[in-house]
Amino acid sequence: MQQPHRHAKTDSEVTSSMAASSPPRPPYYVQSPSHDDGENKTAVSSFHSSPAASPPRSLGRASRDTSSSRFSASKGPSAAASSRGGEPGGGRRGSPWMKEAAIEEEGLLMDDDDAGGNGAGGGLPRRWRYALGFAGAFFALFFFFALILWGASRNQRPVVTMQSITFHNFVIQAGTDASLVPTEMSTLNATVRLTFRNTGTFFGVHVTAQPVTLYYSQLLMASGNLKYFYQARKSQRSLTVAVVGDKVPLYGGGSGLSSTPTTLPPAKKRAPPVVVPPPPVPLQLAVRVRSRAFVLGRLVKPKFYTEARCSVTLDQTRLGKAVSLKKACTYGH
């Protein structure tokens, strides 16, 4: 018996049969990500509008839509956002020109940070500016401290006190100078005593002095040198200076000077002659003492000057005896 001829079913018949056997499902659609370029939009629209595309209710399209929606759901909102360019509904940020603009903006921000870190003035790094600021503050504090020490040391001036003078010899005689000019010559020998006291509480002083001089009017009669010495803080010492003048030419300036007593005849007969001592000689004693302190090494070096001028009278009847100078001197700085 001949079998009836069976025709092969087409896809449309299979689809229709499956659709008839299975209950109808409600249609649902998956919205694909939007893109800026017009080609993707055209492709999508042409795909949906193409007659060759399978019907929306077809099994293959439905299965593909279902799997695509499940895959999108499994990724979650973050994956969907990242697939659309990093923000919901914003695929524009993923475009090439936006990426290039973001890179340029980031580079400008880095340049601004570098410019702010290097400084607008000299282009120095921040650590160098900190180092320079620290050095400037240190030197300012050091200068201020040195200024305080200098001011404190200026108020602690050394004190020079003239004590006494002793005349040992005084002679006026005739002679000639180095050019053999005849003139009167003066010889004077004396000793000057003085005290030096350092009042500094935190520094010592180095002391030198100009020559100690004895003047008659404006004529130099004798001089002596005060040797260099160092005086520690809050201490004092007594000094002795030999003031000597050996055969100093007077050139007529000492016409009223004499070292020889005058003998006068007695007022009555058989009386001894009267011996008149030479007249006293008014002199001016001068000394200038310089003191230097090293308070802060060689940086703070205050200097002190003390000048003493004394009026003293040479009495030849009191040779060898000390004459007090405590009330005969004036002091200057």
Instruction: Identify whether the C-beta of residue 151 lies closer than 8 Å to the C-beta of residue 237.
Output: no
76-90, 93-107, 142-156, 194-208 — which one is most confidently predicted on average?
194-208
Residue 63 has pLDDT above 70, yes or no: no
Q: Which of 173-187, 215-229, 258-272, 276-290 has the lowest mean pLDDT?
A: 258-272
| pLDDT category of residue 101 using cuts at 50, 70 and 90 | low
What is the per-residue pLDDT for 46?
43
111-120, 147-156, 222-231, 264-273 — which one is most confidently predicted on average?
222-231
Give the residue, 187 or 109, on which the prediction is more confident: 187
Which tokens is 119 given?
């400084």
Alpha-carbon gap, residue 189 to 227, rounded angstroms: 18
What is the per-residue pLDDT for 195?
96
What is the per-residue pLDDT for 19?
44
| pLDDT category of residue 192 using cuts at 50, 70 and 90 | very high
Instruction: For residue 308, give the nearest of 254, 239, 258, 253 by alpha carbon.
Output: 239
Vertex 161: Cα angle to 155 and 166 (nearest 5): 165
Phi, psi of 302 (to 5 degrees): -70, 145
- Residue 37 has a CB neighbour count (10 Å cut-off) of 10
| pLDDT category of residue 124 using cuts at 50, 70 and 90 | confident
DSSP 34: P
DSSP 255: T
Average pLDDT (201-206) is 88
Give the pLDDT confidence of 278-314 residue by residue, as tens digits.
Answer: 889 999 999 999 999 888 777 788 889 999 999 999 9
| pLDDT category of residue 95 using cuts at 50, 70 and 90 | low
Burial pattern 195-212, b for ≥16 Cβ within 10 A else e, equals ebebebeebbbebebeeb
Answer positive or negative: Cα dihedral of 114, 117, 121, 127: negative
Identify any residues that bridge with 195 across adjacent strands, giving them in sequence order: 161, 238
Alpha-carbon gap, residue 198 to 230, rounded angstroms: 10
Q: CA separation (Å) from 302 to 205, 305, 331?
A: 9, 10, 20
Which helix or strand (DSSP H or E) is residue 203 part of?
Answer: none
- For the chain, the average pLDDT equals 73
Q: Residue ranges per domain, the chain?
A: 39-94, 125-155, 158-332
Q: What is the pTM of this model?
A: 0.56
Phi-psi region of 119 (alpha: psi -120 to 50; beta: other; left: phi over 0): left
Instruction: Identify whether the C-beta of residue 214 lies closer than 8 Å to the C-beta of residue 284.
Output: yes
